[in-house]
Amino acid sequence: MKFINPVANQDYRILGIEAIPAPVSNPAGLNPAAFTIDRTLWESGRSPTILVVDNSDVSRRLLRAMLRTEPYHIVEAGRASEAVIEIETQPVDLIILDLMLPETNGVDFCRWLKSNRKTQFVPVLIITSVQGVENEIMGLSAGADEFLLKPLSPALVRTRIQSLLRHKAAVDSLEEAETILFALAQAIEQRDKNTGDHCQRIATYSVALGMALGLSRPELVALYRGGYLHDIGKIAVPDHILFKRGQLTEEEWVVMRSHTTKGEEICRPMKSLGTVLPIIRNHHERWDGTGYPDCLRGEQIPLLARILQIADVYDALTSERSYKRAFPHAEAMQMIQEESTRGWRDPALVALFEELCSRASVAKPSLPPPPEWPDASPMQISLHNMSRALLQDKL
């Protein structure tokens, strides 16, 4: 999934609208119920594409006949290798595959589909004439969304397909809503010309530190997302406070600090961002309990929030701002160490981050600077490549 370039005119998706109105006219022979199957696909001007993978011409023709009254674009493949070609050449919204295939069986192919970045969220319906609950268990365990036995009931097939496509539309809507949120976060960042690619750098530092801690992939993905979304609540902070050059008044500080809870409120409806919420809310807590918004102390502060906090502080120190120069790495680390001694930062994480940066600074980058970060130092390039290699399908 990419977190940039929001889909134009899609804001209604985060308002909970579940179906588009049926077209004014009903094309002859089409099932009226099908018009609400997938609002996303109707809006995009194309019918849902269904890929049928079965080595039997008769079975493929039978399925096509069952679906002839539906607004679907049917694509056929006789074997897994042919199906892969179709998947690479066009977007597919549903895959129907037979359990018995040449080259590989349907269960193994389903497992491959669900592990492939391009098809992991595409619904898979396995059909077979082989009786036995063991086959159904294997298919569902491999990631299949539905499992039907032959002979097929046309009405049941159509109903299951409609259900799977509705689920696919819901997943697509959530993905687009996430895209909008991440684009919004980047738009907030661009309001301040001095921050540059602050989010990208924080994501890089956070993931690299998380990898050094041996965190799981979901936790690393949460850190990456947190790098972009941690300050999204600043959209609720007025510009005259957000960009004030002088010292903030106590009342203004209350508004500024509210960006943590406002950000959590913005992202809470997205269940897929559940692991990111503690980062958004608690990245301004302090190790000694003097931070905000909850005055958490020590390990009460969520680990991912503690990690991103160090990345955030480091990037703020090493980046130029309208009110300060960019501090070199050694000077920035000394200041972070002083904050750790003062009780603001997790001392163990600070020590690990310093060690990580030292190792990265002596490593020769195997790739040039990323286009979005042309002036990156060798250390920054090394950390970027490290995080990018692990999160290849998320960047």
Condensed to tens digits (0 to 9), the pLDDT of residues 161-192 reads 999 998 888 777 777 777 778 777 777 776 66
Nearest to 278 by CA among 307, 251, 255: 307
**pLDDT 10s digits, 144-159:** 999 998 888 999 999 9
In sequence order, the β-bridge partners of residue 50 are 74, 94
pLDDT of residue 324: 78
Q: Who contacts 126 (Cβ-Cβ below 8 Å, separation ≥6)? A: 96, 97, 98, 99, 106, 107, 110, 139, 144, 146, 147, 148
Separation between Cα atoms, residue 329 and residue 382, nearest integer Å: 15
pLDDT of residue 193: 59
Q: pLDDT band at residue 296, thresholds of 50, 70 and 90?
A: very high
> Tokens standing for 378?
């060798």
**pLDDT 10s digits, 21-54:** 333 333 334 343 333 334 444 444 568 999 999 9
Question: Which residue type is seen at 11?
Answer: D
pLDDT of residue 61: 92
**Whether 234 is catalytic:** yes
Separation between Cα atoms, residue 128 and residue 148, nearest integer Å: 7
pLDDT of residue 260: 97
Our measurement of the distance from residue 88's CA atom to the centroid of its chain's CA atoms, rounded to an integer in Å, reads 21
Q: 108-115: long-range contacts (C-beta < 8 A, 24 or more apart)?
A: 108/142, 109/53, 109/80, 109/83, 110/139, 110/142, 110/143, 110/144, 111/142, 111/143, 112/80, 113/143, 114/142, 114/143
> Tokens standing for 237?
């902070």
**pLDDT 10s digits, 77-105:** 999 999 999 999 999 999 999 998 988 88
Q: What burial letters (b/e) apply to 234-248, b meaning 16+ CB within 10 Å?
A: bbebeeebbeeeeee
**pLDDT 10s digits, 327-341:** 999 999 999 999 999
- The lowest-confidence range among 58-62, 77-81, 234-238, 267-271 is 267-271
State the average pLDDT for the chain: 80
Sketch out the chain's domains with CATH numbers. 11-173 (3.40.50.2300), 191-394 (1.10.3210.10)
**Burial, 304: exposed, middle or buried (Cβ in 10 Å; 0-12, 13-18, 19+)?**
buried
Q: pLDDT band at residue 194, thresholds of 50, 70 and 90?
A: low
In sequence order, the β-bridge partners of residue 193 are none
**pLDDT 10s digits, 219-237:** 998 999 999 999 999 988 9
Mean pLDDT of 62-80: 92
Q: Please check whether residue 93 is in contact with residue 63, taking contact to mean a CB–CB distance below 8 angstroms.
A: no
Q: pLDDT band at residue 243, thresholds of 50, 70 and 90?
A: confident
In sequence order, the β-bridge partners of residue 94 are 50
Q: Reply yes or no: is the peptide bond before residue 368 cis, omega within 30 of 0.
A: no
Tell me the C-alpha to C-alpha distance, in Å, between residue 386 and each of 197, 207, 208, 209, 228.
18, 8, 7, 10, 18
Q: pLDDT band at residue 384, thresholds of 50, 70 and 90?
A: low
Our measurement of the distance from residue 19's CA atom to the centroid of its chain's CA atoms, rounded to an integer in Å, reads 23
pLDDT at 7 over 60: no
The overall pTM is greater than 0.75: no
pLDDT of residue 345: 96
Task: Please give the residue that has the higher pLDDT: either 203 or 320.
Answer: 203
> Tokens standing for 125?
């319906």
pLDDT of residue 90: 92
Q: pLDDT band at residue 319, thresholds of 50, 70 and 90?
A: confident
From the candidates 168, 234, 262, 394, give the one annotated as an active-site residue. Answer: 234
The phi and psi torsions of 156 (rounded to 5 degrees) equal -65, -40
**pLDDT 10s digits, 346-376:** 999 999 999 998 887 645 455 565 665 666 6
Q: CA-based angle 52:57:63, to the nearest 5?
A: 45
Q: pLDDT band at residue 392, thresholds of 50, 70 and 90?
A: low
> Tokens standing for 40?
């996303």
Task: Please give the residue that has the higher pLDDT: either 321 or 305.
Answer: 305
Other beta carbons within 10 Å of 45: 6
